[in-house]
């Protein structure tokens, strides 16, 4: 009993002790609050009292195009030591701000470039101005007049390392809300680093839900600049090769490759489909004597697959060309285009590639010129040697594709290769059979880092054979009548293929998810933003 | 040897009654012309190098003629029957290497040399730095092409740029594209790449990459002719190959001069470095001498030997630089 009593009393004592502490703390808090308020009041008074730089900061009136100022805004990337000691204007976002006594350091960001700016109390700036600068919400857009000064020590955290800005005027053009749904620093932290330090990282879904903010990170900026580069190089190379760019309808009356995986849209009193590929139209253009065509545009797949490399809408880069005698002319043309793209990226987008690799490290992309071409049977033999059991005419499963990619990389040290002569049974009906072995076909896939990016073939240009193949695949001839008919009046032998832009970017940069290279990705579970 | 055969003037079969009172001698006329030649060679102790060189050249001409004939046959077939498969004709022209066409004799069975066939091309991948073209391997490639159906390809790796055009075409013209890859016995893929040391990758699953031009050359030469059965001879060849790459090609002026002197001494005794037959030692030494530019100031025997090498025809690939 006594023991229990004793325990009880000690418990009470501790409780009362705790209570005391609590009270004390609360009292302290209240005191602090009062002090703060007093200080704030004093500050406000101070503001009212003397603020000699009142006109040098503030929230600017909404830009409604009232006036046309003759003021040149310098770009952040142009801020170099050569421009030192000049007074300049620039418009940028407030990336971070850090107040420290009489100084306030800001990092001003413009796209993927940033520079350090300093507001310090002195004869030009008042205490109030420094305070105002420190209180600007992150991501607000500001106009700044400042003197550019060289720094003695390099500023490691900024892209403009050799200069800083001494701010003289600062105006908020557009104010951001105080609370951001995600922090840019968290979103641009290198992979794996956050986990170790226990710091926050942003997961994919949060990023995509707030895509506009996520796209502001230097990594996203670099990814999409590089993606634009891929498109540009694709057009540039093909135009040089005398290709013609065509535009094809995306609302079509019949599915090109079976009805299961197309989107149906209601079209007045009937229904229509969203195009899975511009396949049929490319071929019709060939029959209409365009010889060499390409097409950049959206492609739709209604496949309910939630993988790292499938989207329901993506940008297709499609090529189709007539050839003289052998479909390898087409392969050579396509692989050369790809090599030109890789070379162009390597030579012209080095900064972007490095920016991305800072957050998502990966080995640089390697390729051979001319591109390595292996045959399907060789690929199967390599896989069998590695212990994979598969039949001669089996299609490559995704893990096997990846394994083969690794084997090829090990032997030839290339991330890009062509696999030729696929078994006929795993290809669509319009694929031309191999003349020497009817089990195989004149079709090919291209791989980047062991994942398929292009699938193509020589097409059947003979209406009779095409009908036979369609019947063999049990396709309703009525539905593809227009397609078959287009070959009746003389059709040159031709071949081609289609590449997914997002996949090329993803695999070139060694990223892990296709949503990272799609600006506003669409998949079975995501329709917004 | 078929060039030397002539119709016998005398019918060897006719029996002539000879008196038996004296000792017996074999009939000279019963011997064939060819065996006569080899007997002649044996009588001299060793075959004349000039005759051998002549033989080799004639073999080369014969081989070329055979190839030409096959190619023309194939072409005639395509012209006569337009439906005929092009791949087939290529395979025909390639599938007819006559046994006399080859300089090196030995078991031609790649299955025993390289392990069992898996139904795919056996591709030898060589990564070489364009700053140092592997002349020896180019010569050996030429020899391999005489022996096997070789699919050769030259690639440029993304780690280098601006490879000179003569290096891109150093394995000869690209074969008419479109021929199926599995019709070939051997693949020879040369990749110009930024590597510190030449590298060969063959069977990545059970072979580590082979480094160094000398070692790759040894590997390739064994596909052409088996190691000499005599261990001493084999070691001699190996030692000459080392001399070639470490002293002739990479050594200083002094080392080069010393190597040339020992070459000269060896060549004074015999037509080729390791005896009566051309071996890897000759190929390696010749290529390294050409590369290092030591050929100009070479002693007499070396000069003669280099001439002999050049006469063989397939060393022309080494004149790349």
Lowest mean pLDDT among A23-32, A362-371, A507-516, B157-166: A23-32
In angstroms, the CA A492 to CA A322 distance is 6
Lowest mean pLDDT among A158-162, A230-234, A468-472, B97-101: B97-101
Sign of dihedral through CA atoms B273, B278, B279, B283? positive
**Contacts for B250-257 with beta carbons within 8 Å, 24 or more apart?**
B256/B292, B256/B294
Query: Are the beta carbons of A370 and B155 separated by less than 8 Å?
Result: yes
**pLDDT of B174 above 70:** no
Average per-residue pLDDT for chain B: 76
CB A311 within 8 A of CB A526: no
Interior CA angle at A385 toward A383 and A391, to 5°? 50
Query: Are the beta carbons of A346 and B158 separated by less than 8 Å?
Result: yes
> Which residue would you say has higher pLDDT here, A5 or B115?
B115
Phi-psi region for residue A421, left (φ > 0), alpha (ψ -120 to 50) or beta? Answer: left
Sign of dihedral through CA atoms B174, B175, B176, B181? negative
pLDDT tens digits for range B29-72: 665 544 444 444 444 455 678 888 898 899 999 999 988 988 88
A389 CB-near residues (< 8 Å, 6+ apart): none
Q: Is B91 in CB contact (< 8 Å) with chain A? A: no
**pLDDT of A509 above 90:** yes
Neighbours of B292 (CB within 10 A): 18
Interior CA angle at B144 toward B143 and B149, to 5°? 130
Q: What is the DSSP letter of A301?
A: -
- When pLDDT is cut at 50, 70 and 90, the band that residue B171 belongs to is confident
A309 catalytically annotated: yes
Task: Look at residues B270, B271, B260 and name the one whose alpha carbon lies nearest to residue B299.
Answer: B260
> Which residue would you say has higher pLDDT here, A237 or B186?
A237
Beta bridge partners of A116: A107, A164
A162 catalytically annotated: no
- pTM score: 0.77
Burial class (CB in 10 A: 0-12, 13-18, 19+), A224: middle
Query: Are the beta carbons of B180 and A407 separated by less than 8 Å?
Result: no
**Contacts for A437-445 with beta carbons within 8 Å, 24 or more apart?**
A439/A392, A439/A393, A440/A376, A442/A327, A442/A495, A444/A331, A444/A418, A444/A419, A444/A420, A444/A497, A445/A418, A445/A419
Q: For the CA atoms of A466, A471, A474, A479, what is the dihedral angle to 10 degrees?
A: 60
Helix (H) or strand (E) holding A193: helix A193-197
- When pLDDT is cut at 50, 70 and 90, the band that residue B92 belongs to is very low
Q: Which residues in B265-282 are b (16+ Cβ under 10 Å) and which e?
A: ebbeeebbbbbebbbbbb
Q: Looking at beta carbons, which residues of chain A come within 8 Å of B156?
A: 368-369
> Which residue would you say has higher pLDDT here, A27 or A9?
A27
In angstroms, the CA B214 to CA B249 distance is 11
Average per-residue pLDDT for chain A: 88
In angstroms, the CA A164 to CA A158 distance is 10
Task: Look at residues B140, B222, B224 and name the one whose alpha carbon lies nearest to residue B188.
Answer: B140
- When pLDDT is cut at 50, 70 and 90, the band that residue A12 belongs to is low
| DSSP three-state, residue A406 | helix
| DSSP three-state, residue A154 | coil
Task: Look at residues B257, B235, B233, B236 and name the one whose alpha carbon lies nearest to residue B247.
Answer: B257
- When pLDDT is cut at 50, 70 and 90, the band that residue A441 belongs to is very high
**pLDDT of A251 above 50:** yes
pLDDT tens digits for range A371-412: 999 999 889 988 988 888 888 888 899 999 999 999 999 999
Query: Is the complex ipTM more than 0.85?
Result: no
Q: Which residue of B has its CA nearest to A371?
A: B155
Q: In Å, how far is A327's CA from the nearest CA of chain B? A: 8
CB A446 within 8 A of CB A490: no
A328-348 vs A501-509: helix crossing angle, rounded to 10: 50
Q: Looking at beta carbons, which residues of chain B come within 8 Å of A342?
A: 158
Interior CA angle at A369 toward A298 and B151, to 5°? 120
Give Cα separations from A400 to A378, A386, A444, A503, B250 (angstroms).
14, 10, 16, 18, 45
In angstroms, the CA B98 to CA A370 distance is 33
Lowest mean pLDDT among A31-45, A436-450, B162-176: A31-45
Q: In Å, how far is A415's CA from the nearest CA of chain B? A: 10
**pLDDT of B316 above 90:** no
pLDDT tens digits for range A167-192: 999 999 999 998 989 888 888 888 76
Rounded to 5 degrees, φ, ψ at B189 are -110, 115
In angstroms, the CA B303 to CA B321 distance is 19
* pLDDT value for A202: 85
A503 catalytically annotated: yes
Helix (H) or strand (E) holding A64: none
What distance, in Å, lies between the first and last C-alpha atoms of chain A? 69
In angstroms, the CA A426 to CA A473 distance is 11
B137 CB-near residues (< 8 Å, 6+ apart): B126, B128, B190, B198, B213, B216, B217, B220
In angstroms, the CA A42 to CA A439 distance is 89
Mutate to test the interface with B, among A381, A414, A432, A439 (most CBs of B within 10 A): A381
**pLDDT of B107 above 60:** no
CB A374 within 8 A of CB A420: yes
Given A216, A301, A427, A469, the catalytic residue: A301
Lowest mean pLDDT among A94-108, A119-133, B85-99: B85-99
Q: Would you report the helix, strand and coil content of chain A in percent, each value rounded to 5? A: 40, 25, 35
CB A300 within 8 A of CB A275: yes
Phi-psi region for residue B45, left (φ > 0), alpha (ψ -120 to 50) or beta? Answer: left
Query: Are the beta carbons of B189 and A412 separated by less than 8 Å?
Result: yes
Task: Look at residues A109, A107, A104, A100 and name the one whose alpha carbon lies nearest to residue A134.
Answer: A104
Burial class (CB in 10 A: 0-12, 13-18, 19+), A426: middle
pLDDT tens digits for range A272-293: 889 888 888 899 999 999 999 9
Q: In Å, how far is B285's CA from the nearest CA of chain A? A: 29
- When pLDDT is cut at 50, 70 and 90, the band that residue B85 belongs to is very low
Task: Look at residues A441, A431, A328 and name the one whose alpha carbon lies nearest to residue A393.
Answer: A441
CB B301 within 8 A of CB B268: yes
* pLDDT value for B46: 59
How far is it between the farthest Cα atoms of chain A?
110
* pLDDT value for A21: 77
Q: What is the DSSP letter of B244?
A: I
Neighbours of A221 (CB within 10 A): 17
A109 catalytically annotated: no
- When pLDDT is cut at 50, 70 and 90, the band that residue B13 belongs to is low
The percentage of chain A sitting over the pLDDT mark of 70, rounded to a whole number, equals: 92
DSSP strand pairing (A313-322 vs A494-500): antiparallel
A329 catalytically annotated: no
**pLDDT of A234 above 80:** yes
Query: Are the beta carbons of B120 and A381 separated by less than 8 Å?
Result: yes
**pLDDT of B244 above 50:** yes
> Which residue would you say has higher pLDDT here, A230 or A195?
A230
Residue range A229-242: mean pLDDT, rounded: 95
* pLDDT value for B82: 45
What distance, in Å, lies between the first and last C-alpha atoms of chain B? 36
Query: Which strands form A443-448's sheet, in the order they lie side by side?
Result: A244-245, A292-300, A313-322, A494-500, A451-458, A443-448, A416-420, A372-375
* pLDDT value for A340: 94
Query: Are the beta carbons of B178 and A326 separated by less than 8 Å?
Result: yes
Residue range B142-151: mean pLDDT, rounded: 85
């Amino acid at each position: 009993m006594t023991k229990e009593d004793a325990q009880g009393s000690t418990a009470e004592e501790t409780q009362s002790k705790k209570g005391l502490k609590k009270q004390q703390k609360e009292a302290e808090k209240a005191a602090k609050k009062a002090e703060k308020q007093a200080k704030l009041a004093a500050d406000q008074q101070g503001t009212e009292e003397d603020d000699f730089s009142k006109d040098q900061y503030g929230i600017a009136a909404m830009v409604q195009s009232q006036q046309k100022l003759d003021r040149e805004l310098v770009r952040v990337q142009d801020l170099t030591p050569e421009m030192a000691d000049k007074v300049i204007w620039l418009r940028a976002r407030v990336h971070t701000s850090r107040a420290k006594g009489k100084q306030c350091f800001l990092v001003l960001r413009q796209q993927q470039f940033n520079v350090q700016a300093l507001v310090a109390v002195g004869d030009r700036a008042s205490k109030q101005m420094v305070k105002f600068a420190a209180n600007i919400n992150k991501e607000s857009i500001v106009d700044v007049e400042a003197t550019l000064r060289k720094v003695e020590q390099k500023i490691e955290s900024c892209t403009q390392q050799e200069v800083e800005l001494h701010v003289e005027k600062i105006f908020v053009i557009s104010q951001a809300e105080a609370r951001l749904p995600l922090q840019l620093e968290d979103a641009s932290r290198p992979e794996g680093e956050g986990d170790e330090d226990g710091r926050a990282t942003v997961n994919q879904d949060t990023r995509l839900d707030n895509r506009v903010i996520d796209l502001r990170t230097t990594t996203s900026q670099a990814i999409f600049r590089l993606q634009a580069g891929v498109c540009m190089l694709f057009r540039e190379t093909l135009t040089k090769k005398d290709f013609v760019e065509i535009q094809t309808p995306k609302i079509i009356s019949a599915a090109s490759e079976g009805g299961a995986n197309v989107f149906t849209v209601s079209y007045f009193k009937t229904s229509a489909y969203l195009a899975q590929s511009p396949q049929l139209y490319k071929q019709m253009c060939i029959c209409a004597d365009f010889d060499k065509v390409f097409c950049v545009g959206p492609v739709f797949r209604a496949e309910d697959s939630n993988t790292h490399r499938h989207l329901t809408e993506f940008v297709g880069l499609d090529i189709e060309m007539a050839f003289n005698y052998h479909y390898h002319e087409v392969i050579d043309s396509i692989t050369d285009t790809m090599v030109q793209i890789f070379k162009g990226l390597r030579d012209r987008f080095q900064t972007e590639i490095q920016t991305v690799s800072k957050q998502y490290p990966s080995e640089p992309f390697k390729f051979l010129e001319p591109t390595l071409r292996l045959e399907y049977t060789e690929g199967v033999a390599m896989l069998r040697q590695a212990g994979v059991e598969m039949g001669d005419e089996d299609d490559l499963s995704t893990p096997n594709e990846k394994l083969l990619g690794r084997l090829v990389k090990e032997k030839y040290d290339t991330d890009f290769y062509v696999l030729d002569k696929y078994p006929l049974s795993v290809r669509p009906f319009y694929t031309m059979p191999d003349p020497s072995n009817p089990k195989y076909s004149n079709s090919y896939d291209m791989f980047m880092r062991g994942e398929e990016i292009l699938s193509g073939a020589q097409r059947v240009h003979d209406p009779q054979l095409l009908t036979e193949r369609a019947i063999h695949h049990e396709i309703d001839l009525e539905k593809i009548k227009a397609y078959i008919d287009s070959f009746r009046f003389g059709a040159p032998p031709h071949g081609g293929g289609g590449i997914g832009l997002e996949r090329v970017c993803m695999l070139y940069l060694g990223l892990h998810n296709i949503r990272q290279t799609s600006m506003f990705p669409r998949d079975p579970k995501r329709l917004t933003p | 040897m078929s060039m030397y055969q002539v119709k016998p003037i005398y019918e060897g079969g006719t029996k002539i009654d000879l008196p038996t009172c004296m000792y017996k001698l074999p009939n000279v006329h019963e011997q064939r012309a060819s065996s006569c030649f080899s007997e002649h060679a044996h009588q001299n102790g060793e075959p004349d190098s000039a005759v051998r060189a002549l033989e080799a050249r004639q073999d080369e001409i014969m081989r070329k003629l055979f190839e030409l004939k096959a190619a023309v046959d194939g072409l005639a077939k395509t012209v006569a029957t337009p439906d005929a498969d092009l791949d087939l004709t290529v395979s025909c022209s390639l599938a007819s290497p006559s046994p006399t066409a080859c300089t090196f004799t030995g078991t031609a069975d790649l299955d025993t040399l390289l392990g069992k066939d898996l139904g795919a091309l056996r591709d030898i991948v060589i990564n070489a730095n364009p700053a140092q073209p592997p002349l020896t391997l180019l010569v050996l490639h030429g020899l391999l092409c005489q022996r096997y159906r070789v699919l050769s390809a030259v690639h440029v790796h993304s780690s280098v740029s601006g490879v000179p055009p003569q290096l891109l075409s150093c394995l000869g013209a690209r074969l008419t594209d479109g021929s199926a890859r599995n019709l070939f016995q051997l693949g020879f893929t040369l990749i110009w790449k930024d590597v510190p040391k030449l590298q060969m990758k063959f069977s990545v699953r059970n072979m580590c990459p082979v480094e160094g031009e000398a070692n790759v050359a040894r590997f390739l030469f064994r596909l052409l002719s088996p190691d000499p059965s005599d261990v001493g001879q084999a070691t001699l060849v190996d030692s000459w190959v080392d001399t070639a790459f470490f002293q002739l090609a990479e050594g200083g002026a002094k080392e080069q001069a010393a190597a040339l002197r020992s070459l000269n001494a060896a060549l004074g005794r015999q037509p080729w470095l390791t005896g009566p037959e051309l071996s890897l030692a000759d190929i390696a030494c010749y290529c390294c001498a050409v590369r290092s530019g030591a050929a100009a100031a070479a002693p007499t025997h070396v000069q003669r030997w280099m001439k002999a090498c050049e006469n063989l025809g397939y060393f022309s690939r080494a004149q790349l630089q």
